[in-house]
C-alpha cells in the first residue's frame, strides 16, 4: 500500500494479498461483494483508535463492522478500511448491580450461552449469528421483547471511539444526547462502539410453545394470533409466527412465556381452536434450550436476502 504508516495500524491486519482476504471481506448477505483496501480486526479499543486516526490521516473512507449481518451490506466498502470488532469478545457480569459489560464483537448466541449458564439474560436477538453492535444500534427484537423490551431498552452505557479517535462514554448521565442518538440510529453513525453495559434479568425455566398448521389455515390462525400482540395482551408471552417454506411448507407459531406450561396452555386456548393444528408442544424447558429451538428456522449460513425475501 502507498499509504503513510504513521499513525500505525494495529490489531490483526488483512490486506488483499492475504490468503484470508476473501473470507475476511465477505458480508453475510451474498448479494454484496465488496473489495476493501484493508481490514483491521481490532483486538482492543486502542486498535480502533489507531485505525480511525490512520484512515483520517490518509484520507481513506472507512466502515465499521461487527457480525456482518447488515441487510444492505453497508458494513463493507470498496477501496477503504473496515474496522471489525468481531474478535473483541470479553464479557463481565456484575451480579451486585445486575449488569453485564461486554465487548461488541459478541454474537447473539454467544451472549445467550454465556449469560444463560449463569441464569441470566439480556433480551437478545432471536437469530444466533448477528453481532451485538448492529443488533443493539438498530433496536434488537427477540423472543423476550414483550416482557423486557428491545435489546436497546436494556442498554445502560456504551463505550465508543469517535471520529477524532477519542474514547467516549454515553449513558443517561454522561453524553446523554449521544446516548439517546445511539439507541436506534447508532449503526455506523456516531463512532465505533467497543463495549456496552446492559441490565440483566434472571431466567431459568420458561414455558415454550410450538404449534404447526397447514398453510391453508393461515387466515383463521393469523386472525387469532395477532390478538396476542396487542398492547393489553399478557406480556409474559412473546408470540412469533413463521411461514416455513420448503418441500413441506407449513405455518409455525412459537413463543416463550415467563410462567408455567399450564398457564400458557390456557392462554393459548383460542389459538389451539383456530384451524386444525397438526402438532402441539407446550412444555417447561430451560431458557438455554428454548433459545436455539426458537432460532431454528433462522438462516445461519451466508445467503442472498432482502428483508422481505425472508417471508
Ligand atoms: C439472518 C439474520 C437474522 C436476524 N435476526 C435478527 C433478530 O432476531 N433480531 C433483530 O433485532 N435483528 C435481527 N436481524 C437484523 C440485525 O439486527 C441487523 O442486520 C444488524 O444491523 C446486524 O448487526 P451486525 O453487527 O451483525 O451487522 P454489521 O453488518 O456488522 O453491522 C450493521 C450496522 O452496524 C454498524 N456497526 C457494526 N459494528 C459497529 C460498531 N462496533 N459500532 C458502531 N456501528 C457498528 C455497521 O456499520 C452497520 O451499519 C437479523 C439479520 C439477519 C441477516
Q: Are residues 147 and 163 in the same domain?
A: yes
Residue 3 lies in a domain: no
Residue 248 near residue 215 (C-beta atoms within 8 A): no
Residue 191 lies in a domain: yes
Residue 155 lies in a domain: yes
**The domain boundary residue, chosen from 66, 84, 102:** 84
Q: Are residues 157 and 173 in the same domain?
A: yes
Q: Map residue 23 onto helix, strand or coil.
A: helix
pLDDT of amino acid 304:
79
**The domain boundary residue, chosen from 84, 112, 137:** 84
Q: Whose CA is nearest to atom 28 of ligand 1?
A: 68
DSSP-based helix, strand, coil % in the chain, nearest 5: 30, 25, 45
Q: Are residues 215 and 173 in the same domain?
A: no
Q: What is the CATH number of the domain that holds 70?
A: 3.30.43.10
- Looking at the 3D structure of the chain, how many domains does it have? 3
- From the CA of 187, how far away is ligand 1's center (Å)? 8
pLDDT of amino acid 126:
84
Report residue 262's pLDDT band, with 50, 70 and 90 as the boundaries: very high
Q: Whose CA is nearest to atom 3 of ligand 1?
A: 127
pLDDT of amino acid 185:
79
State the average pLDDT over residues 57-82. 95
pLDDT of amino acid 187:
82
Query: 1 pLDDT exceeds 80?
Result: no
Report residue 4's pLDDT band, with 50, 70 and 90 as the boundaries: low
Residue 122 lies in a domain: yes
pLDDT of amino acid 310:
54
What pLDDT, in 10s, does the model give residues 122-180? 987 888 999 999 999 989 999 999 999 999 999 999 999 999 999 999 999 999 999 99
Q: What is the CATH number of the domain that holds 243?
A: 3.40.462.20
Q: What is the CATH number of the domain that holds 140?
A: 3.30.465.10
Share of the chain above pLDDT 70, in %: 95
Residue 6 lies in a domain: no
**The domain boundary residue, chosen from 202, 230, 249:** 202
- From the CA of 259, how far away is ligand 1's center (Å)? 31
CA separation (Å) from 48 to 10, 65, 69? 8, 11, 20
Report the distance separating Cα 123 and Cα 235, nearest Å: 14
Residue 133 lies in a domain: yes
Ligand 1 atom closest to the CA of 28, numbered from 1: 53
**Cell representation of residue 257:** 412465556
Which residues fall within 8 angstroms of residue 268, CB to CB, at 6 or more apart? 209, 211, 282
Between 191-200, 237-246, 290-299, the lowest mean confidence (pLDDT) is in: 290-299
Domain residues for the domain of 97 are 91-202
Amino acid at each position: 500500500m502507498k499509504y503513510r504508516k504513521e499513525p500505525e495500524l494495529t490489531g490483526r491486519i488483512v490486506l488483499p494479498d492475504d490468503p484470508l482476504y476473501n473470507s475476511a471481506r465477505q458480508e453475510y448477505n451474498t448479494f454484496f461483494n465488496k473489495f476493501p483496501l484493508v481490514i483491521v480486526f481490532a483486538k482492543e479499543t486502542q486498535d480502533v483508535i489507531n485505525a480511525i486516526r490512520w484512515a483520517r490521516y490518509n484520507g481513506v473512507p472507512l466502515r465499521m463492522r461487527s457480525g456482518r449481518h447488515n441487510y444492505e451490506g453497508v458494513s463493507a466498502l470498496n477501496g477503504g478500511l473496515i474496522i471489525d470488532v468481531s474478535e473483541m469478545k470479553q464479557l463481565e457480569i456484575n451480579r451486585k448491580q445486575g449488569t453485564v459489560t461486554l465487548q461488541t464483537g459478541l454474537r447473539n448466541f454467544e451472549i445467550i450461552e454465556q449469560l444463560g449458564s449463569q441464569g441470566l439474560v439480556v433480551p437478545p436477538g432471536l437469530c444466533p449469528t448477528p453481532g451485538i453492535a448492529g443488533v443493539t444500534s438498530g433496536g434488537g427484537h427477540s423472543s423476550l421483547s414483550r416482557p423486557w423490551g428491545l435489546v436497546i431498552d436494556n442498554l445502560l452505557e456504551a463505550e465508543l471511539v469517535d471520529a477524532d479517535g477519542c474514547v467516549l462514554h454515553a449513558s443517561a448521565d454522561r453524553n446523554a444526547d449521544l446516548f439517546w442518538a445511539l439507541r436506534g440510529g447508532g449503526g455506523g453513525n456516531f463512532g465505533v462502539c467497543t463495549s456496552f453495559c446492559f441490565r440483566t434479568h434472571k431466567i431459568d425455566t420458561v414455558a415454550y410453545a410450538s404449534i404447526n398448521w397447514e398453510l391453508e389455515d393461515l387466515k383463521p390462525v393469523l386472525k387469532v394470533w395477532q390478538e396476542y400482540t396487542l398492547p393489553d395482551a399478557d406480556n409474559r408471552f412473546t408470540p412469533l409466527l413463521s411461514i416455513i417454506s420448503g418441500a413441506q411448507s407449513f405455518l409455525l407459531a412459537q413463543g416463550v412465556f415467563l410462567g408455567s406450561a399450564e398457564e400458557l396452555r390456557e392462554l393459548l386456548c383460542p389459538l389451539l381452536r383456530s384451524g386444525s393444528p397438526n402438532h402441539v408442544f407446550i412444555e417447561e424447558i430451560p431458557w438455554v434450550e428454548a433459545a436455539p429451538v426458537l432460532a431454528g428456522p433462522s438462516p445461519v449460513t451466508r445467503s442472498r436476502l432482502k428483508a422481505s425475501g425472508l417471508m
